[in-house]
Structure 1
Amino acid sequence: MGYKVAIVGATGNVGREMLNILEERGFPADEVVAIASRRSQGTEVSFGDKTLKVKALETYDFAGTDICLMSAGGSVALEWAPKIAAKGCVVIDNSSAFRYDQDVPLIVPEVNADAVAGFTRKNIIANPNCSTAQLVVTLKPLHDHATIRRVVVSTYQSVSGAGKDGMDELFQQSRAVFVADPTTNKKFTKRIAFNVIPHIDVFMEDGSTKEEWKVMVETKKMLDPKIKVTCTAVRVPVFIGHSESVNIEFENPITADEARAILRQAPGCLVVDKHEDGGYITPIETAGEDATYISRIREDQTIENGLNLWIVADNLRKGAALNAVQIAELLINRKLIGTKKAA
């Protein structure tokens, strides 16, 4: 007997991707319900060869629903996730609302699958930040082998990380530049077309942005609290796909060849690293792909036991929708939840 699954935020970029991935992976669902705010009620979204009519979050009864995949923003999650969880429905939330709650597991299945059992405390599981997800998938097998001491990461994050409005702004500004029309900034603080912006989310007291803080705190929570992490997060004029330049200092020796061999065997990782023109991955090649791609693996001669990596992934998939679906699959495969119908 299959599960009943609700997608909250089904009309957004990530919500639509969740629907696609559920269908692609043959998720064992007897029923999938698309949910959004009242203003989107009646809107149609695609689910495989079916069309689903969106239902309103405010009036939907979750009592018979087994799993809720939520991608509706932090404020919505804070209000609704506990209400949904109280109905006996497990909430897998894509926002930052519960990531730092010690009673809510923050999960990337390839990294810390065992921690998922802690969901019973609040019936909520958190999905990490998109840039953190691809980072920890790569760091985990290397940490297991040589113990990471310090990570320095610079992100090059696509506009889809800022939602549909971010993608629209890049498109409109790019067109305006070509025809010599004036550009306007609404979603971003400066023009994003043909530019890069070293500012994602709000500024904090120490001069870091919230995005940079998220990478640090989430990496420590999922991987190892002893790892030192520093980050500079940059928005770039790319539609889909986050890239990261990562410098890692290890406690124990590790060569570039060893790292390649380890990452080639690691779940969720795909190494494309040829020392030739085009022998590396760029964001455009990762769009629609599930893997986290690693290129430019090389030893850092300025420190002892150091490596440099280039990491790229589709932020709408592994960074959000795919990871959420994988968490749901993890719950089912480990027999941590059953169906309401069977009960």
Structure 2
Amino acid sequence: MEQNKNIDWALGAFSALKSGMAKAIVGHEELIEALSLALVSGQHVLLEGVPGVAKTLAVRTLGRLMSLEFSRIQFTPDLLPSDLVGTQIYNPQTGQFSVHTGPVFANLVLADEINRAPAKVQSALLESMEEKQVTLGGATHALPKPFMVLATQNPIEQEGTYPLPEAQLDRFMFKILVGYPSRDEELAVLRLKKEADPEIYPVLTGEDIAALRELAATVHVDPKIEEYIVDLVRTTRNPGAIDPELAETVRWGAGPRAVVFFLRAARARALMQGRSFVLPADVQAVAPWILRHRILLSYEALADGMTPDQAVARIVAGVPAP
């Protein structure tokens, strides 16, 4: 009975979050679901799309829906690592250095157009994303809890962009492709902008998010589901075992971190669906988001117009579900 009450409460929290996002965002159901799952999983998200498709708006709206500290970092070619994490400033009156923390010291950090900055600045986020801490002047400073980085980037074909290194890509649980809205959705955007900006109030506190994460951790995962997750990830490294055509298509597969992300995301999705157990459908639903930036295709496959999502779809179709 207590578990049912907790699940009902979680459903209400997800519904409030979705309703709040819908006040400012038209369509983009996949984006809203992914952001909600990442929030409950306590992981980071990378959003990719051309300018003007509501990537930044979605993240800013999510920040306004939570009673947490929110900061935005606009990545530019002249940005320095100290602009992110902070620096030490010398005080001549006291003869001592004082630490001035940067915008990364927030619960929800929007890294806007992350691939507009060079690699040394992108790498400055690595420690904060993985270790939840920052080193300044030889001292380690813990970041606030919860801590989540939501980064946006333009497609690498755009001018003035720097591809993210693989080590940083691997730290994002999800990579979400944000496309153009449909005709009806674009009409709805036009009509929404004719009205006053919607009133958006916080619907979740830090305690609520912590409770959701604890509840998601109790969602049951059958050993067969665990084996299914491992088989999916391992098949990305040897796809020829299920599809000979993929043997020369995928140059690099997903690492062990993907297994952990699958488990957390599947549990969060089961909770969002009102269940206390994970189904294969939960794993399959998040597979493209988790794997698309962890699979490296061969030059020949790219020349033939193949996409990582197509490779992921064939892998998911080829691995038997329990």
Q: TM-score range by the shorter chain?
A: under 0.3
- More strand by percentage: 1
- More helix by percentage: 2
TM-score (norm 1): 0.23
Q: Relative contact order, CA 8 A, sep 6+: which one is greater?
A: 2
TM-score (norm 2): 0.24
